Amino acid sequence: MAEKQFNTVGPSKPELHYLLDPLARVDLQEIEALIEAQRYFVLHAPRQTGKTTVLLALMEHLNAHGRYRALYANIETAQAARGNVERGITAACSAIARSAQVYLGDTRLDDWLLRGEGRAVEAEEKLSRLLAHWSQLDPARPAVLLLDEVDALVGDTLISLLRQIRAGYAQRPQAFPQTVVLCGVRDVRDYRIHSGGGDIITGGSAFNIKAESLRLGNFSREETVALWRQHTEATGQVFDEAIWPELSQDTQGQPWLVNALGHECTWKDKALRLNRAQPVTLAHYWAARERLIQSRATHLDQLTDKLREPRVHRVIAPLLAGGQALWDPLSSIDDVEYVEDTGLVALRPQMRAANRIYARLIEQVLGRDVQAPSPTA
Ligand SMILES: Nc1ncnc2c1ncn2[C@@H]1O[C@H](COP(=O)(O)OP(=O)(O)OP(=O)(O)O)[C@@H](O)[C@H]1O
Ligand SMILES: [Mg+2]
């Protein structure tokens, strides 16, 4: 079997990647209790924290247990429709039906949508009718829907999605999912949705049935080290202990950064890859860190693009000036939250770069020194 790797692209898979048990990163007991109690809830965290990995593991866990029919669906494709409800909801419905095929081998949602009753149903009702149909297919095993990238949707499409889920809520679990989990970077409560009519509708009002918001955090220092040690266990290649405090301060446990640095040290460094008997030293680590920052790999590249947007620049301007101000009062709340969602900076109790690598990125792109977090205890 091929050697496992540190994952830097997409959700992590146990057969391919070094992995911390995704279900140990959340309070599984609490999640199971919420499902048991037929609650709807939110799971949120900034980009590249491991949300999708958790949802996929949760689906597998619930289905293995056999009590529920759990389905993961990513509805990101509905984003392209912007505020066009017809196109947006159709895309979301297709994504759910397609997921049922892929993960559950169930083609009946697609049948309903493309060849059955669903064809004649208006977009304003299509999603709730699809979920009702799906839930009724097997009353002995209530449906649990894990909806990913919900806040990729905007405007009237997002409002319609939230309202359709709310509309069916009272019919659960017989004729609607026992639980719907909404996953994205932001808590639903904090959505401010610009409707086509010019109103701003808050997520809390469009979706007032949310019982709980669970936030996925970064890795602890112990988890960070444990993930890297999986490489040592698998290959025998050891890391200098002096790496741990650096790694911890550079990443603050940000999951993608922890993996990307691991990948640089153990894979991109060819000498170290070809000779697993050679220990990884602090000097190797520093060189890997430099390469990672210079390479602007995937996630860093996306953050770089964001840093070039004027609204982002505006929000973090006080940070660049070395100031202590929270943010420029001229920045709109939308902009501040947009920046917060990227995970680039932490805004509380005062604004600072979220970790040392992001601080370096901000310096490089915007050409000014910024305050990095102090060492973790
Ligand atoms: N359980 C885990 N163990 C180790 N690394 C993980 C784990 N979960 C996630 N990661 C790291 O985080 C990265 C992103 O994972 P995932 O796609 O699940 O996050 P996400 O929060 O859904 O991201 P996005 O917001 O971009 O959709 C992975 O490529 C991997 O580097
Ligand atoms: Mg994801």
DSSP class of residue 280?
B
Q: CA–CA separation, 233 vs 337, rounded Å?
A: 41
- Our mutation pick for probing the ligand 1 site, out of 26, 259, 303, 305, counting the most ligand atoms within 8 A of Cβ, is 259
Helix 298-307 vs helix 282-295: crossing angle, to nearest 10: 50
Give the class (CATH, top level) of 22-215. Answer: alpha beta
**What's the rounded Cα separation, in Å, for the pair 308 and 274?**
38
pLDDT tens digits for range 194-252: 999 999 999 988 899 988 999 999 999 999 999 999 999 999 999 999 999 999 999 99
Among residues 241, 251, 283, 242, which one has the least CA distance to residue 265? 283
Asked whether 14 lines ligand 1 (CB < 6 A), one says no
Which atom of ligand 1 sits closest to the CA of residue 46?
A: 25
Nearest Cα residue to 181 out of 279, 346, 68, 260:
68
Helix axis angle for 155-168 and 85-104, nearest 10°, is 60
Atom of ligand 1 nearest to the CA of 10: 17
Q: Please write the tens of the pLDDT for every residue from 135-168.
A: 999 999 999 999 999 999 999 999 999 999 999 9
Q: Over range 98-103, report the average pLDDT.
A: 98
* Ligand 1 pocket residue status of 4, Cβ below 6 Å: no
Coil, strand or helix: which one is 139? coil
Task: Kindly report the protein residue whose alpha carbon is nearest to atom 18 of ligand 1.
Answer: 50
Give CA–CA dist 268/262, Å, rounded. Answer: 9
Report which protein residue has its CA nearest ligand 1's atom 17.
Answer: 11
Contacts of 374 (CB under 8 A, 6+ apart): none
Q: What is the pLDDT of residue 319?
A: 80
Ligand 2 centroid – CA 31 distance (Å): 19
Question: For 312-365, what is each residue's pLDDT tens digit?
Answer: 988 888 787 765 555 666 678 888 888 888 899 887 777 889 999 999 999 999
Give me the helix-helix angle, 243-251 and 221-235, nearest 10°.
130
Residue 318 contacts residue 325 (beta carbons within 8 Å) = yes
Dihedral, CA atoms, 73, 88, 130, 181, nearest 10 degrees? 40
196: CA distance to ligand 1 center in Å? 34
**What pLDDT band is residue 377 in, cutting at 50, 70 and 90?**
very low
- Which of 48, 230, 302 should be mutated for ligand 1, with most atoms under 8 A from CB? 48
Cα dihedral 308→310→312→315 (10° resolution)? 140
